[in-house]
Amino acid sequence: MRTVIYTDGSCRGNPGPGGWAWAVGEHLYASGADSPTTNQRMELTAALEAVRAFPEGPLEIVSDSTYVVKCFNDKWHAGWRRRGWKNSQGQAVANRDLWEAIFAVTIDCGRDVTFRWVKGHSGEPMNEFVDTLATLAADEGRGRSTPTQ
């Protein structure tokens, strides 16, 4: 059975204080904070922490970040690696450290992880929940969590 995990990142300023969150329902979640950071780093961190929290079994990561979802679904990662971590404009790929970490626990180890995009701020309850958790983490400079297993 595939575990569905919603993720989100938040940043107050870009760069600025940031927060990330993941949740499987409203009773199983984690969030954290970093500063200074960017929204894209927090979106990536949310997905990375979600995959790390569930080291076994197939996963579906649901995110409102096209940056995260398109990298996997449109296989941006293949071009980045082929070009020596350069994007299509020949510039260094931003957030390479986080991309390498998430690839290590998904693509590189053959893990069954899929990514699905959801429109943000559209009233989808779980997306709103993780948005609230990530925003609180950014505002408070700390995260919160429930036991994962």
Kindly report, residue by residue over 71-103, the tens digit of the pLDDT: 999 999 999 999 999 999 999 999 999 999 999
- Of 75, 79, 45, which Cα lies nearest the Cα of 63? 45
The strand pair at 29-37 and 3-11 is best described as unpaired
Task: Specify whether the CB–CB gap between 140 and 16 falls below 8 A.
Answer: no
Q: Hey, what domains does the chain have and what are their CATH numbers?
A: 3-140 (3.30.420.10)
pLDDT of residue 147: 72
Q: Measure the CA–CA gap between 90 and 87, rounded to whole angstroms.
A: 5
Regions in the chain scoring below 50 on pLDDT: 149
